Structure 1
Amino acid sequence: MPDSEDSDLGDDFSDEEDAQITERRDEAIAELKALKSEPSQATIDKFWDDYADVVALKSDNTTFFHEIVQEVGKRQKQNGVDAASIRPLFMVLVKKLPKLLEETDNNGETPLYSAINYRKPKTWRLVKYTLQCCDNNECVKKHVINSLKHLGGRGGQACLNLAFEHEVSDSVLRSLVSIANAEVLELVDSSKKTPFLHAVQYEQCDENRVKLIRLLLDKDMEIIDRHRTRDNPRPRVTTFLDLKYSKGGSAEYSVYGEHERTRRIHLGNVKFGKDQEPTTRTVRNELQNPKAKDLNPDSKVNESSKSMSTHSKKLKDQTTGDQDSGSRPIVQDREQLKVALTSATDEKQRFRQEKRREHRQDKATEQDVSRVEVLRGRPEVVDEATGNQSGAQASSDIKSNRAANTSLKRTNTSNPTTHGPKTTEKKPSPSVKAKAEPGVLAENSEKIREMLKLHYMRTRDVDRATSFLYGKNVQGR
Structure 2
Amino acid sequence: MTFIHPSMSGLPNDRERELTRRQTGDKEPSSPTGDDSDSFEEDEKDEEEDDDDLRPPQDPVKVAFDEILEQIKNKELKLGRSEERKKFFHRYEKYLEERIGEKKNLLHVLAYYEGSANISMKSLVTQLCKKYPKEYARLLVAKDDTGSENNPLYAAITRKNFRLVAYLCENKEGSQTVTTAIETALAMSCGERGENCLHAAIRSKMPAQTAISLIRLTNDETLKAQDSKGFTPLHYAVEYERCTDSQFDVVKTLIECGDSALDKLGNKPDYFSVYRYHENTHERAFKTTKPNVKAMAEKEKERVPPVREEDLRRPDGLNKKGMEPDKLDPRPEALQQRPRTQREGPHSLKDERKPGDLARPQRRDTDTNSPVEPNGPPHNGYLHAPSQGGPVMAGKEAPHNDSLNPGVRFSKETPKRESSVARSRRVEEPEVTEESAEKIRELLQLHYLRTRSPETAASRLYGKNPNAKHICFDYLGAPSKVNPEEFKDSFEHVKLDSVLQYVAFSNLEVRPAPEFPYSLDNPVEAEGKGRCDMMFFFEWLRQDKGVKRILKVIVEDLDTPAHSDEAIEKTLEGFNVEILDWRKTDLCPETMYTSSSKLREIYLRWSGNNAVLRSWSEPDGLRRFEDLEKVHLHVKQDLETSMRTKKNIDKFCERLNSSTPTIEQTRAVPTPDEQPTISVKPSKIIRVSRIEQDGQHERLLTMNLAASPGEIKQEQTLQPHRWLTCMDEFREMIQNVWSWSMKQKLQQQNDLQKPVEIALIDDGIDVLQPRLRGKISDGKSFDFGDKGANRIRSHWISERGHGTVMAKNIARICPMAKIYVIKLETHFDHKEQKSRIGARSAADAIDAAVDRKVQIISMSWTIAQPSTSDEKERLDTAIRRAISAGILLFCSSADKGLHQDNDYPAASNPSKMFRIGAAKANGNAWDWVPNITNLDFIIPGHEVAEKALLDDDPSQTFQPQTGSSVATALGAGLAALIICCVQLAAIHTQMNQQVDTPTAVTVSDLREVKRHDGMKAAFGAIGTSMESQNKFVEVWRVFDKAAKEMRVLEKERRLGVVAALAPKFVRNYGM
TM-score, normalising length: structure 2: 0.27
Q: Judge conservation of contact 2:75–2:119 (CA < 8 Å) in 1.
A: no
Output the CA distance in 2 between the equivalents of 1:94 and 1:153.
25
Q: Judge conservation of contact 2:79–2:127 (CA < 8 Å) in 1.
A: no
Deviation at 1:155? 3.6
**1:98 and 2:157 are equivalent in the alignment:** no
**Please, which of 183, 190, 215 is the counterpart of residue 152 of structure 1?**
190
Unaligned runs of 5+ in 2: 1-54, 308-325, 334-370, 378-399, 403-410, 468-1071
Aligned to 1:86: 121
1:384-411 deviation per Cα after TM superposition (whole angstroms, max 9, x unaligned): 9524169xxxxxxxxxxxxxxxx999xx
Aligned to 2:99: 58
**1:114 and 2:106 are equivalent in the alignment:** no
**Please, which of 359, 366, 375 is the counterpart of residue 388 of structure 1?**
375
1:199-221 deviation per Cα after TM superposition (whole angstroms, max 9, x unaligned): 10112112221111111221226
Q: Judge conservation of contact 1:124–1:168 (CA < 8 Å) in 2.
A: yes
**1:463 and 2:455 are equivalent in the alignment:** yes
Aligned residues, how many?
A: 317
Amino acid corresponding to residue 141 of structure 2 in structure 1: E
Amino acid corresponding to residue 104 of structure 2 in structure 1: T
Deviation at 1:94? 3.2
Aligned to 1:200: 238
Amino acid corresponding to residue 458 of structure 2 in structure 1: T
Q: Judge conservation of contact 1:185–1:194 (CA < 8 Å) in 2.
A: yes
Q: Which has the larger radius of gyration?
A: 2
Amino acid corresponding to residue 206 of structure 2 in structure 1: V
Aligned to 1:396: none
- The 5 A counterparts of 1:114-263 are 114-119=155-160, 123-133=161-171, 136-220=174-258, 239-246=260-267, 249-263=268-282
Percent of pairs identical after alignment? 25
Output the CA distance in 1 between the equivalents of 2:412 and 2:429.
27
- Cα distance change of structure 1 residues 241 and 137 upon mapping to structure 2, 3 Å threshold: farther
- The 5 A counterparts of 1:244-393 are 244-246=265-267, 249-280=268-299, 296-297=305-306, 385-388=372-375
Aligned to 1:424: 414
3-state SS of paired residue (1:106): coil
1:121-179 deviation per Cα after TM superposition (whole angstroms, max 9, x unaligned): xx211111111227722211211122122222434222111122221222221122111
Output the CA distance in 2 between the equivalents of 1:161 and 1:219.
15
3-state SS of paired residue (2:231): coil
Q: Judge conservation of contact 2:235–2:277 (CA < 8 Å) in 1.
A: yes
Aligned to 1:324: none
Output the CA distance in 1 between the equivalents of 2:413 and 2:328.
22
**1:34 and 2:74 are equivalent in the alignment:** yes
Aligned to 1:343: none
1:236-273 deviation per Cα after TM superposition (whole angstroms, max 9, x unaligned): xxx22210113xx4322111111111111222333443
Q: Choose between structure 1 and 2: higher strand proportion.
A: 2
Aligned to 1:325: none
Q: Judge conservation of contact 1:220–1:241 (CA < 8 Å) in 2.
A: no
Aligned to 2:444: 452
Amino acid corresponding to residue 454 of structure 1 in structure 2: L
- Cα distance change of structure 1 residues 41 and 474 upon mapping to structure 2, 3 Å threshold: farther
3-state SS of paired residue (1:245): coil
Output the CA distance in 2 between the equivalents of 1:432 and 1:131.
20
Output the CA distance in 2 between the equivalents of 1:279 and 1:356.
16
- Cα distance change of structure 1 residues 448 and 127 upon mapping to structure 2, 3 Å threshold: same
Amino acid corresponding to residue 64 of structure 1 in structure 2: L
1:24-48 deviation per Cα after TM superposition (whole angstroms, max 9, x unaligned): 3333333333325854333234312
Output the CA distance in 2 between the equivalents of 1:359 and 1:263.
23
1:416-436 deviation per Cα after TM superposition (whole angstroms, max 9, x unaligned): xxxxx9733478965566455
3-state SS of paired residue (2:169): helix
Aligned to 2:110: 68
Deviation at 1:450? 2.2
3-state SS of paired residue (2:162): helix
Deviation at 1:282? 6.0
Output the CA distance in 1 between the equivalents of 2:293 and 2:100.
54
Output the CA distance in 2 between the equivalents of 1:192 and 1:433.
30
Output the CA distance in 2 between the equivalents of 1:172 and 1:85.
20
Output the CA distance in 1 between the equivalents of 2:249 and 2:61.
46
Output the CA distance in 2 between the equivalents of 1:422 and 1:454.
46
Aligned to 1:315: none
Output the CA distance in 1 between the equivalents of 2:220 and 2:234.
12
Q: Judge conservation of contact 2:151–2:185 (CA < 8 Å) in 1.
A: yes
- Cα distance change of structure 1 residues 274 and 426 upon mapping to structure 2, 3 Å threshold: farther
Aligned to 2:534: none
Output the CA distance in 2 between the equivalents of 1:187 and 1:271.
35
Aligned to 2:464: 472
Output the CA distance in 1 between the equivalents of 2:247 and 2:159.
22
Aligned to 1:6: none
Output the CA distance in 2 between the equivalents of 1:437 and 1:153.
28
Aligned to 2:547: none
Output the CA distance in 2 between the equivalents of 1:149 and 1:54.
27
Q: Judge conservation of contact 1:251–1:472 (CA < 8 Å) in 2.
A: no
Q: Judge conservation of contact 2:223–2:258 (CA < 8 Å) in 1.
A: no
Output the CA distance in 2 between the equivalents of 1:18 and 1:195.
42
Amino acid corresponding to residue 118 of structure 2 in structure 1: A
Output the CA distance in 2 between the equivalents of 1:434 and 1:458.
36
Aligned to 1:368: none
Aligned to 1:369: none
Q: Choose between structure 1 and 2: higher helix proportion.
A: 1
1:328-356 deviation per Cα after TM superposition (whole angstroms, max 9, x unaligned): xxxxxxxxxxxxxxxxxxxxxxxxx9999
Deviation at 1:104? 1.4
Output the CA distance in 2 between the equivalents of 1:135 and 1:468.
42
Amino acid corresponding to residue 53 of structure 1 in structure 2: K
Aligned to 2:434: 442
Output the CA distance in 2 between the equivalents of 1:155 and 1:422.
37
**Please, which of 19, 34, 45 is the counterpart of residue 59 of structure 2?**
19
- The 5 A counterparts of 1:1-12 are none
Q: Judge conservation of contact 1:134–1:141 (CA < 8 Å) in 2.
A: no
TM-score, normalising length: structure 1: 0.58
Q: Judge conservation of contact 2:262–2:274 (CA < 8 Å) in 1.
A: yes
More off after superposition, 24-33 vs 195-204: 24-33
Amino acid corresponding to residue 457 of structure 2 in structure 1: A
Amino acid corresponding to residue 448 of structure 2 in structure 1: Y
Deviation at 1:187? 1.8
3-state SS of paired residue (1:167): coil
Deviation at 1:194? 0.7
1:297-317 deviation per Cα after TM superposition (whole angstroms, max 9, x unaligned): 49xxxxxxxxxxxxxxxxxxx
Aligned to 1:226: none
Q: Judge conservation of contact 1:185–1:196 (CA < 8 Å) in 2.
A: yes
1:365-402 deviation per Cα after TM superposition (whole angstroms, max 9, x unaligned): xxxxxxxxxxxxxxxxxxx9524169xxxxxxxxxxxx
Deviation at 1:87? 1.0
Amino acid corresponding to residue 92 of structure 1 in structure 2: Q
Amino acid corresponding to residue 84 of structure 1 in structure 2: I
Output the CA distance in 1 between the equivalents of 2:74 and 2:253.
40
3-state SS of paired residue (2:112): helix
User: Bigger relative contact order, structure 1 or 2, given CA contacts below 8 A and separation 6+?
Assistant: 1
